[in-house]
Chains A and B, each alone.
Chain A
Amino acid sequence: MSLTTDDVRHVARLARIALSDQEVEALRGELSDILAYADKVGEVAAADVPPTSHAYPLRNVYRDDTPQPSLPADEATATAPQAEQGRFRVPRIVEEP
């Protein structure tokens, strides 16, 4: 398993991390080594072995359908880097028409 710097840049874009060239180069080697080690999972467990996502499976976990007080908007936005009128403020997403 050997990654190229383009592979690393592609994954960084998916993960929304603006890596420096130096970080990309370091991660290329490190990720290749780690994935080569992780590749060992391919040596065992044929396709007929069912995957386990949770060791203690619980299904259809519901709470009682009773109204509960929720976090007030001003408390929920109090920790935001930028908030306005009980809303989170972000840079413009949609272009002007």
Chain B
Amino acid sequence: MHPLVAADAVGLQRLLKAREVSATEITQAHLDRIADTDPHVSAFIRTLDQAALDHARDIDRRLSAGQEVGALAGLPLALKDILCTKGVETTCASRVLQHYRPPYDATVVRKLRQADAIVVGKANMDEFAMGSSCENSAFFPTRNPWDLERVPGGSSGGSVAAVAANDAPLGIGTDTGGSVRQPAALCGVIGVKPTYGLVSRFGLIAFASSLDQVGPIARAVPDAALLLEAIAGHDPRDATSIPTDVPDLHTTLEAGVEGLRVGVVSEFMGAGMSDGVRSVVTAAIDRLGALGAEVVDVSLPHAGYGVSAYYLIAPSECSSNLSRYDGVRYGLRVDGETTEQMMASTRDAGFGPEVKRRIMIGTYALSAGYYDAYYAQAQRVRTLIIRDYEAAYAGCDVLASPTSPTTAFKLGERAADPLSMYLSDVYTIPSNLAGAPALSLPVGLDDDGLPVGLQLMAPVLGEPVLFRAARALERELAIDSTPRGNGSLAQVAA
């Protein structure tokens, strides 16, 4: 592997600032890496080689002229194909948007460009971010670099697999019920779901608006912190954006965990988890204790109702949001004699099975006679889960649990049973319902040599302590994030 693609983002920045390497060299090395790996991994719906190289050359020109460059200058990034890029196809991995070229940039995309990140490609995902395996992409599934017969997780599976495959040191995903953290756990990288409202949703194609949040993906905690600082901040174009300063993650990043109180969520350590995940996660939590953290058990009594509440709230919001795909203003149209026939045929042809399923659940839950029993009741459960977290944080600084109950599963293994797929997100969903930040950190491998993720959670706007705890454990464990072993990318792409 080329040393430039093995390096983390902070390391590449150091080389670039010292003028030991150019942005063009960094970019070309990653484009070459993508050409080697993507035939096996299929992380990208489209790569943006020419635009990436043009941007890199412009950065090099500015550096030579002694001009300013952005905070992410020269760093390759995989962008989930759910964020609008002006004039560049943005598909959401759906046939209904297959040829859609947005007339504007998402705020996150604008900020990335201003920060001089190099967007190397638009990454694959589950259609409209609905799924936990990337198998719901209308185009093709993405594969896990640790075992090409297994899923990378989802829905941000493409961005995560790209970072794990060293196609880019940075990735952008979105997390509605675990869609950054679960694939990060399954691919052995870091994935963060920030506080709801910390990162603008303007130009993020909506799935469930009260839960969707953009988050960074990286192979090192300082890299993820750098990326989050670049994309966070109030946006007047998003009415749910929190009017607060960009969090300062770097000042306390290396402060360690001595004296921090870490609550282990007992409801998330029970049945349903694989033995391998349990032993690796337990060992990681013990290491936090050895580093000086005070480890205590806490209870989130209503967390077990999170999946039920989520599968009413998210589909209800989705059924409303996706009503815009009606064959009129953008995307696919299938002709019909009446406008209603045109809309119904367009939506039948344009949406895949999982998207239809969720629109149907949501439409049912919101329909006359069922609203109170389903949607309103799910929102009451949401209140109970938020209260559970408030009680837990009265005695803890951060909470810990596994990210996913299992390591990566085989392609096709859960595709026939939607409910088993939904349960992939049992530990991640409660943070979305509470609007609070959480991240997944790779903490070891199970007996099959597959990565296991530890989930750390913090109160709303508690990103500084979240990153601080993750960084301390990352330093202690010194995990090698390179995919290796039988069936891995290492056997087919050096």
| Residues on A facing B (Cβ under 8 Å) | 3, 7-8, 11-12, 14-20, 23, 26-27, 30-31, 33-35, 37-47, 49-56, 58, 61, 63, 71, 75-82, 88, 90-93
Contacts and interface: CB of A to CB of B under 8 A. Distances in A.
**Would you list the 8 A-B pairs with minimal beta carbon distance, nearest first?**
A55-B435, A51-B379, A81-B333, A45-B380, A18-B344, A79-B330, A40-B308, A18-B348
B240 interface: yes
A43 to B, nearest CB: 7
13 contacts: A16-B347, A18-B344, A23-B356, A31-B364, A40-B308, A42-B377, A44-B305, A52-B379, A54-B435, A56-B197, A71-B104, A81-B332, A91-B336
Interface stretch (B7-15, B24-32, B161-169, B321-329): B321-329
B236 A91 contact: no
A35 B333 contact: no
A50 B311 contact: no
Q: How large is the interface on B (under 10, 10 to 19, 20 to 34, 35 or more residues)?
A: 35 or more
Given A15-B359, A17-B356, A31-B360, A41 B332 contact: no
Interface stretch (B112-120, B176-184, B249-257, B382-390): B382-390
Contacts of B347: 15-18
A54 to B, nearest CB: 5
Nearest to A24: B360
Contacts, number: 182
Contact of B348 (A17, A30, A58, A92): A17
A51 B376 contact: yes
B103 A15 contact: no
A81 B364 CA distance: 29
B328 A88 contact: yes
Given A41-B378, A44-B305, A55 B363 contact: no
Contacts of A80: 328-330
A3 B243 CA distance: 45
B367 A52 contact: no
Contact of A63 (B236, B326, B383, B436): B236
Interface string B421-444: 010000000000111100000000
Interface string B378-413: 111111101000000000000000000000000000
Nearest to A74: B103
A82 B342 CA distance: 12
Nearest to B313: A53
B100 to A, nearest CB: 6
Interface string B187-228: 000000001110000000000001000000000000000000
A43 B305 contact: yes
B419 A55 contact: no
B172 interface: no
Contacts of B305: 40-41, 43-44
